Each structure stands twice: as structure tokens, then as C-alpha cells.
């Protein structure tokens, strides 16, 4: 697997990186294990100051760090700066809260004195994606660092500079070298890490295919595993909706990060009485978008992360159209040199269409008309995502803000790990 920085704004190859060697892999495992042995019996509060310092490093170097992910995977500068700040907030949150959360917890028992202790377990090996090159790493690193686990991450092959910059930030905050390490390795070398007895757990954010492979290895070697896979998040527009509020929210959640967010809304399920106005408003909003250089503050939509990602999405849209989907807006070439995809609206997607149950990971909105709230819930649940602790976030723009304390009857049957009312997910 070649690790390369290719600017998706121009499709220009900027740098190729050497893969981590077998000798370096052995050294990384030894260094991570040494960190674990050093920290496993140390009070978590002693690591809090270091994690706060890591947060400060992110904030003090925000412009430079944001520029790296903008150049490497095409994230707009505004969104890149948001991601850097989000990482700092996550680090601060764990530094502030983890010491109390990790305190021993006595519990009542007829068997005598019982105490629950939260202990470090070893090295955590992570396989992480390209869509949030810092955030995906911070949410693995920060909690494990506070516990006393070492973290080794295999980043996506198109964001090596981002991964190495994150490692630099951790060291810049004063953490020991073994606390966090980046491994530029191929898929086959992942097994080398997973099977090593010093590795206690595995995490992955990515596709179902990658998740299945990593889960199989974790099972083979009896390692704890945590997977976050795809999502086909539903955005329900139901009775009482205010379209002046709904439509801008729909545009934000579908086009953030050029539509490349696991937990963003991808299926817009709209009651029939709102459908025509919703589609017209969504189309008008898409027409007014500016596509271009992600470092330009006037641009609304930058490139996709790579030409490969763009080509895959185009193939999916072509298949959807071949199976009867209607293009309301978009699906025309963008006259720019990079991996640009025009935001697109599809309707008339039936159950036999591949797009009905396949995640479209890019700036494509699929809109469905329903005739009742029961039908909306049934459609929201009629996908393989979100049913088994996978990532599906349902956005419900239907209640007045004064009614947020109510629990509508249709809310209970929705099968999703997170349900958001009157707002869209950020990441």
C-alpha cells in the first residue's frame, strides 16, 4: 500500500512516504508496551496536564494543522479549523473528567467488599479513515491515554501527513513517545499488530468490508474490538415542520465535509404535503452553492477526498439512474482539475434500486416521499445500517423548540443509536 499526499483540489501528487518496516513495527510494539507498563499503575490525574498541553498545541498550531488536512483530503479551511478545535475540546474534556470517572467504585455485595477498578490493558491498535484525519485519532487517543493504554494507529493511505502531524502534536504536548504512534503499513501488516500479545484491543472506523476483516482477526486472536462502519442516516420531515428552518439544516448536514460524514443525513424522508416545496427549496439551495478551492473562504463545497472516491460515487449515481432514479439537480461535470463532484439530488428511488440500501458517501441527497409518519419510520429503518450498533443518526426536524420535552409515539420504533431533534449532526 502506497502512502501518498495527493492534493484533491488539483489531483497533484505532492509526496510519497516510505512504509513502516518490520524492524520499526517491532520497535513500535516495544515502545508502546513500555509506555503501558510505565503508566498502568499511575494515577490518571497525573496525565491530565499533559493532555491539556496537547489540546493547547492544537490551538496554538491550528492554522498550520488545518492547512495540512485541507491540502491532503480537501476539507474546506473553515471545516478544517473546526476539526482542530474539536480535537482540542475532546482532549480537554477527557483531561477534566477522566480522573473522576476512573476512580475505584465500591459496590454493595453480600459477598463482602467489592470494588470496580478501571485499569489499563495494553496497546490499542486502530485503523482509521481519511474523512476526519485528526478527530478520528483524537477520539481513540484521548480516553486511552488517560487510562494508561498506548495507541498505535494505521491511518488511511491518502492522509499520512495528517497522521504524522497528529503524532507530532502529541509529542509536542509532552507525552512520551510510546503514548501514540503512527504506522504506515499495508493491510497484511495489520495482522502483525493484532496478533501480538501486547496488543489488548482493536478499533476501526471504515467500511463494512474493512470492518469484517478486522473483526475476523480480532476474533481469531481473541482481542477486544470496537467498530464504527457505514451509515445511511435518515432526515425525517414530519408534521409541523417549518421548511424555512428545515431546508438550510438539510443542506448543511448533507454537504458538510463534501458529504463525506458517516453520521450525516443522506436520506431525506418527507411527508407528502411538504415534499414538493422541500425538493424545490433543496434544489434552489444547491444551485446557489459555490464549488472550488477549499482554501477559498467564499467556497461552499470543496473537492472530494480523492479521484478514487469521486469515481466510486459517480458509478453509484450512474447505477441509481439506470435503475430509475430521477436527477432533480446536479450530476454534471465540474470544470475544475481536481476531484470535484457537483452536489446532486436524486428522487424516485425504489426498493430495487442499489441506492436504496447503499451508502452514497459524497454530496448526493436522496429524497423520498411518504404519506404518514408510520411509513416514514418504516422507511428510516429499512436499511442494514444502524441495526447492529453501526452508525446511523436520524435527524428529526418536526417539533417546535418549546416542545423538545415531548416524546412522539413514532420516536420509539426508530432503530438508531442516536436521534437528534431539530438539529443536524456535526460529525
Task: Determine which helix (DSSP H) or strand (DSSP E) holds 168, and give its type and residue range.
Answer: helix 160-172
- Write the DSSP symbol of residue 19: P
Give the C-alpha separation, 253 to 18, whole Å.
Answer: 37
Q: To 10 degrees, the CA torsion angle through 51, 56, 57, 61? A: 150
Beta-strand relationship, 326-329 and 150-154: unpaired
In DSSP notation, 229-241 reads ----EEEEE-TT-
Does residue 228 have an active-site annotation?
yes
Give the C-alpha separation, 258 to 78, whole Å.
Answer: 13
Q: To 10 degrees, the CA torsion angle through 256, 262, 264, 266? A: 110
228, 249, 319, 373: which is the annotated catalytic residue?
Answer: 228
Give the C-alpha separation, 66 to 214, whole Å.
Answer: 30
Cα 309 versus chain centre, distance: 16
C-alpha closest to that of 350 among 376, 369, 374:
369
* Site of grid cell 433543496: 282
Q: Beta partners for 127?
A: 154, 204
**179-195 burial, b if ≥16 CB within 10 A, otherwise e?**
bbbbbbbeeebbebbbe
Positions marked active-site: 228
Amino acid at each position: 500500500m502506497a502512502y501518498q499526499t495527493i492534493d484533491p483540489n488539483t489531483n497533484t501528487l505532492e509526496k510519497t512516504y516510505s512504509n513502516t518496516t518490520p524492524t520499526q513495527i517491532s520497535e513500535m510494539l516495544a515502545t508502546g508496551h513500555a509506555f503501558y507498563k510505565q503508566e498502568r499503575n499511575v494515577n490518571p490525574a497525573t496525565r491530565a496536564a499533559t493532555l491539556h498541553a496537547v489540546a493547547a498545541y492544537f490551538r496554538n498550531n491550528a492554522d498550520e494543522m488545518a492547512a495540512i488536512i485541507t491540502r491532503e483530503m480537501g476539507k474546506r479551511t473553515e471545516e478544517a479549523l473546526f476539526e482542530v478545535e474539536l480535537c482540542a475540546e475532546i482532549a480537554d474534556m477527557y483531561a477534566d473528567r477522566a480522573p473522576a470517572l476512573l476512580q475505584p467504585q465500591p459496590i454493595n455485595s453480600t459477598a463482602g467488599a467489592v470494588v470496580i477498578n478501571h485499569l489499563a490493558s495494553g496497546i490499542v491498535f486502530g485503523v482509521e479513515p481519511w474523512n476526519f484525519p485528526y478527530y478520528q485519532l483524537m477520539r481513540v487517543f484521548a480516553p486511552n491515554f488517560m487510562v494508561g493504554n498506548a495507541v498505535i494507529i494505521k491511518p488511511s493511505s491518502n492522509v499520512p501527513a495528517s497522521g504524522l502531524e497528529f503524532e507530532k502534536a502529541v509529542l509536542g504536548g509532552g507525552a512520551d513517545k510510546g503514548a501514540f504512534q503512527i504506522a504506515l503499513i499495508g493491510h497484511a501488516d495489520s495482522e502483525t499488530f493484532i496478533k501480538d500479545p501486547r496488543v489488548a484491543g482493536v478499533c476501526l472506523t471504515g467500511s463494512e468490508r474493512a470492518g469484517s476483516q478486522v473483526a475476523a482477526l480480532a476474533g481469531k486472536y481473541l482481542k477486544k474490538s470496537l467498530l464504527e462502519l457505514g451509515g445511511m442516516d435518515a432526515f425525517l420531515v414530519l408534521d409541523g415542520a417549518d421548511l424555512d428552518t428545515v431546508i438550510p439544516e438539510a443542506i448543511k448536514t448533507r454537504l458538510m465535509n463534501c458529504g463525506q460524514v458517516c453520521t450525516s443525513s443522506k436520506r431525506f424522508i418527507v411527508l407528502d404535503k411538504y415534499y414538493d416545496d422541500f425538493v424545490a427549496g433543496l434544489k434552489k439551495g444547491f444551485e446557489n452553492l459555490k464549488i472550488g478551492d477549499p482554501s477559498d473562504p467564499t467556497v461552499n463545497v470543496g473537492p472530494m477526498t480523492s479521484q478514487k472516491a469521486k469515481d466510486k460515487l459517480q458509478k453509484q449515481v450512474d447505477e441509481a439512474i439506470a435503475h430509475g432514479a430521477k436527477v432533480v439537480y446536479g450530476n454534471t461535470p465540474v470544470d475544475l482539475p481536481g476531484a470535484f463532484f457537483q452536489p446532486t439530488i436524486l428522487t424516485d428511488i425504489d426498493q430495487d434500486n442499489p441506492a436504496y440500501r447503499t451508502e452514497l458517501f459524497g454530496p448526493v441527497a436522496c429524497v423520498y416521499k411518504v404519506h404518514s409518519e408510520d411509513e416514514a419510520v418504516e422507511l428510516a429503518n429499512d436499511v442494514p445500517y444502524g441495526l447492529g450498533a453501526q452508525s446511523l443518526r436520524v435527524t428529526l426536524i418536526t417539533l417546535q423548540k418549546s416542545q423538545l420535552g415531548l416524546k412522539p409515539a413514532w420516536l420509539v420504533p426508530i432503530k438508531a443509536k442516536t436521534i437528534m431533534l431539530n438539529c443536524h449532526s456535526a460529525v
